[in-house]
């Protein structure tokens, strides 16, 4: 059993980390507001962006790069459409619990981070499009029992899903 001193130290670290994350979230929100205020009028086709990097416990380098790239595009007058997960995956590779693979992903934390980072409705030259999970029994039945090779070549409804996903 951990000593009281170790538990207090652990609690202090968690509180410090939460404070730093909140400060960072405020900085990101302030910069996002500055980008929105200085965004140029839209010219040309939009760019769709999806951040496949974790933001569950803060910003990874990939997540930060994604955000900076989207801001740079907006400042140049390019409309950016952020494709954002809204609990759209039954198993999230970014939120996998290594101690319990059957655990549901931490969707609430990820969605909160996305809400803070990405433009809200009405933002200048930026949109947010969410995706949610919709079960498809026909698709599930079609892939049940397929080998990896078969999944790689799998097509459904005229779409090469295997090639796109694997």
pLDDT at 121: 66
Do 28 and 92 lie in a common domain? yes
Here the tokens at position 18 are 């939460």
pLDDT at 94 over 80: no
Do 129 and 142 lie in a common domain? no
pLDDT at 140 over 70: yes
Do 48 and 124 lie in a common domain? yes
Token pair 């007058």: residue: 77
Do 119 and 144 lie in a common domain? no
pLDDT at 103: 84
Do 29 and 17 lie in a common domain? yes
- Of the chain, the percentage scoring pLDDT greater than 90 comes to 30
pLDDT at 68: 93
Number of domains in the chain: 2
Spatial distance between the Cα atoms of 115 and 112, rounded to a whole number of angstroms: 5
Distances in whole angstroms, Cα of residue 1 to Cα of each of 4, 5, 6, 35, 147: 9, 11, 10, 50, 46
Do 94 and 12 lie in a common domain? yes
Spatial distance between the Cα atoms of 95 and 89, rounded to a whole number of angstroms: 10
φ, ψ (nearest 5 deg) of residue 69: -65, -40
Task: Give 82's strand partners.
Answer: 49, 128
- Note down the domain range covering 76: 4-134
pLDDT in tens, 99-111: 888 888 888 877 8
Do 125 and 67 lie in a common domain? yes
pLDDT at 25: 83
Do 49 and 121 lie in a common domain? yes
Mean pLDDT for the chain?
A: 85
The better pLDDT of the pair 133, 138 is held by 138
Helix (H) or strand (E) holding 71: helix 61-75
Do 85 and 144 lie in a common domain? no
Spatial distance between the Cα atoms of 42 and 23, rounded to a whole number of angstroms: 31
Do 100 and 72 lie in a common domain? yes
pLDDT in tens, 47-76: 999 887 666 667 788 888 988 999 999 999
Do 74 and 96 lie in a common domain? yes
The count of residues in the chain is: 166
Do 145 and 120 lie in a common domain? no
């Amino acid at each position: 059993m951990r000593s009281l001193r170790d538990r207090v130290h652990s609690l202090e670290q968690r509180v410090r980390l939460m404070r730093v994350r909140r400060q960072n979230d405020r900085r990101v929100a302030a910069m996002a507001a500055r980008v929105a205020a200085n965004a140029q009028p839209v010219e040309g086709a939009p760019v769709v962006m999806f951040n496949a990097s974790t933001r569950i416990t803060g910003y990874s380098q990939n997540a930060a790069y994604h955000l900076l790239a989207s801001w740079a595009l907006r400042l140049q007058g390019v409309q950016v459409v952020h494709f954002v997960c809204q609990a759209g995956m039954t198993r999230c590779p970014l939120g996998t619990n290594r101690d319990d693979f059957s655990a549901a992903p931490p969707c609430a934390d990820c969605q909160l981070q996305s809400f803070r980072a990405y433009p809200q409705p009405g933002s200048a030259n930026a949109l947010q499009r969410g995706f949610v999970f919709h079960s498809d029994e026909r698709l599930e039945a079609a892939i049940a029992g397929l080998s990896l090779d078969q999944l790689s070549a799998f097509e459904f409804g005229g779409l090469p899903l295997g090639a796109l996903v694997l």
